[in-house]
Amino acid sequence: MGLIAASHATPGPADGDADAVESEPDARFTFANERTFLAWTRTALAFVVAGLGVVQLLPPFPGVPWGRHVLGVPLIVIGAVIAVTSYSQWVRSQQALRRGQPLPRSVLPRILAIAITAMAIVSAVVLLVSAVLKPR
């Protein structure tokens, strides 16, 4: 059971890379790439769920009528961005695997970190504004 199952090697100068020879990568790598895509898909769905939950299930913030939308709408948009990006990431990784090249760096962790940081800051601001404006 060889690690690289180069069954049907096909020369594939897909986009300008004339030296790239493509071959079917080991099934384990293909499966692992697919699982990574699916994990990001679930992350994207979790963002959509969170955004919808904020808008639909939370009681309104006192004094901040737009608070739930400011939190929920970006969460849903981030979910869509992660879904689309994870697919293009899967395509690039699969291509690198086929060509035996190093895997491209993923932008998804950065998107995730920035998104969560930004949402934490926005949440803190909404809560603070609500606490200040709350009718007492």
Rounded CA-CA distance 79/100 in Å is 31
Torsion of CA 77, 80, 84, 90, to 10 degrees: 120
User: Residue 34 interacts with another protein (CB under 8 A)?
Assistant: yes
Sorted by sequence, the CB contacts under 8 Å of residue 103 that are 6+ apart come out as 93, 96, 97
> Mask: binding to another protein, 89-128, rule CB under 8 A, as x and -?
-xx--x----------------------------------
Beta bridge partners of 61: 64
Q: In angstroms, give the least distance from the CB of 62 to another protein.
A: 13
The only residue of 63, 69, 107, 121 in contact with another protein, by rule CB under 8 A? 69
Among 15-23, 31-39, 112-120, 126-134, the segment contacting another protein (CB under 8 A): 31-39
CA–CA distances in Å: residue 5 to residues 11, 21, 32, 47, 121: 16, 14, 15, 37, 48
Residues that bind another protein (CB under 8 A): 1, 24, 27-28, 30-32, 34-35, 37-39, 41-42, 44-46, 48-49, 51-53, 55-57, 60, 65-66, 68-69, 72-73, 76-77, 79-80, 83-84, 86-87, 90-91, 94
